[in-house]
């Protein structure tokens, strides 16, 4: 590894429905990104600011992704804002793909992105910055067992949904009841999520149309969460008796988040697709003296 304090680090800033990320291109995996540096870069007051960091690495150059190199050239080494490693980020995959297109590393159309949650198939609809991006998010897992989440004195039953990362989906009467989601909601039983959980609070807006707020583990409340929106649509379909595996028909939900709107479709074979925008807003370099100030 090359010490991060030697050269300046190139970065970009992007967002998907206002779920924002620091993007660090590093094709050969030469930049050391310890949790402390990731947290520093994602700091909204003292750093660049972001809900997470997208480390862009060729799969062949990263030990966690080499097995996927023949299928997916690029690996999304995703980090939460506190520096912890995460399996997947749905909005992050769209922004990751937008960066690859922005940098001329891929063309329009279909591509594969390796993540810790598996290889994700992505479709870039247009070359311009306003085109939507569709990600095939894989199949949801629905672990058995009752789960509950609580905020203050309120408690709700929740649906346990895994989209490559864990989610607890609670349907509520009012999104304000979720309170201050920068503080993690409580959940039970503790054994259901030994490594923490993303918690979604959901209200109905109309037929196949919901709105949500989310607490992302390691980041607090965010303006959007792609895997969370997928988990919400899957949970809503079961609640509404619209499980595509049972009906034989795909089901689509519109999911409104504080940062925008995503369209989620689940197909009879269990495949979940997410469509929404992704934008690159800035690029530059990080001062190496800020990264490693002189003693």
Task: Assess whether the region 9-137+279-285 and the region 147-269 belong to the same CATH fold.
Answer: yes
Is 216 annotated to bind a ligand? Reply is yes
C-beta separation of 232 from 99 below 8 A: no
- Alpha-carbon distance of 201 to 199, in angstroms, equals 7
Per-residue pLDDT, 295: 57
Is 80 annotated to bind a ligand? Reply is yes
Please pick, among 184, 225, 231, 257, the residue that the annotation labels catalytic: 225
- Catalytic, 42? Answer no
Please pick, among 89, 172, 235, 262, the residue that the annotation labels catalytic: 89
Is 19 annotated to bind a ligand? Reply is yes
- Alpha-carbon distance of 150 to 260, in angstroms, equals 26
Bridge partner list, 168: 160, 199
Bridge partner list, 21: 14, 52
Across the range 267-283, mean pLDDT stands at 96
Is 247 annotated to bind a ligand? Reply is no
Domain ranges of the chain: 9-137+279-285, 147-269
pLDDT digits (tens, 9 = 90+) for 45-65: 999 999 999 999 999 999 999
Is 6 annotated to bind a ligand? Reply is no
Per-residue pLDDT, 201: 98
Is 16 annotated to bind a ligand? Reply is no
- CATH classification for the domain delimited by 147-269, as one of 3.40.50.300, 3.10.310.10, 3.10.200.10, 3.90.105.10: 3.10.310.10
C-beta separation of 226 from 274 below 8 A: yes
pLDDT digits (tens, 9 = 90+) for 139-172: 999 999 899 999 999 999 999 999 989 999 999 9
- CATH classification for the domain delimited by 9-137+279-285, as one of 3.30.230.70, 3.30.420.40, 3.10.310.10, 3.40.50.410: 3.10.310.10
Across the range 17-40, mean pLDDT stands at 96
- Catalytic, 225? Answer yes
pLDDT digits (tens, 9 = 90+) for 34-45: 999 999 999 999
Across the range 218-237, mean pLDDT stands at 94
Q: What is the pTM of this model?
A: 0.88
């Amino acid at each position: 590894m090359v010490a991060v304090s030697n050269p300046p680090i190139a970065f970009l800033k992007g967002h998907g429905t206002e779920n924002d990320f620091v993007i660090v291109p590093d094709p050969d995996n030469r930049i050391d990104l310890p949790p402390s540096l990731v947290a520093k870069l994602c700091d909204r007051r003292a750093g660049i600011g972001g809900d997470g960091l997208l480390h862009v690495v060729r799969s062949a150059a990263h030990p966690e992704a080499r097995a996927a190199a023949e299928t997916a050239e690029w690996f999304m080494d995703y980090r939460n804002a506190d520096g912890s490693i995460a399996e997947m980020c749905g909005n992050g995959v769209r922004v990751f793909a937008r960066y690859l297109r922005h940098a001329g590393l891929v063309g329009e159309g279909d591509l594969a992105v390796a993540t810790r949650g598996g290889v994700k198939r992505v479709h870039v609809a247009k070359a311009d910055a306003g085109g939507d991006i569709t990600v095939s998010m894989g199949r949801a897992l629905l672990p058995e067992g009752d789960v509950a989440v609580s905020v203050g004195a309120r408690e709700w039953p929740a649906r346990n949904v895994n989209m490559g990362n864990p989610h607890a989906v609670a349907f509520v009467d009012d999104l304000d009841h979720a309170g201050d989601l920068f503080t993690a909601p409580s959940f039970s039983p503790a054994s259901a999520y030994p490594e923490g959980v993303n918690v979604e609070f959901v209200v109905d807006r109309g037929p196949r149309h919901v709105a949500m707020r989310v607490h992302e583990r390691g980041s607090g409340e965010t303006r959007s969460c792609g895997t969370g929106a997928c988990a919400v649509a899957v949970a809503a379909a079961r609640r509404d008796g619209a499980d595509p595996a049972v009906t034989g028909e795909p089901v689509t939900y519109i999911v409104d988040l504080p940062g925008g709107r995503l369209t989620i479709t689940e197909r009879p074979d269990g495949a979940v697709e997410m469509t929404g925008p992704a934008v690159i807003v800035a690029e530059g370099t990080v001062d190496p003296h800020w990264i490693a100030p002189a003693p």
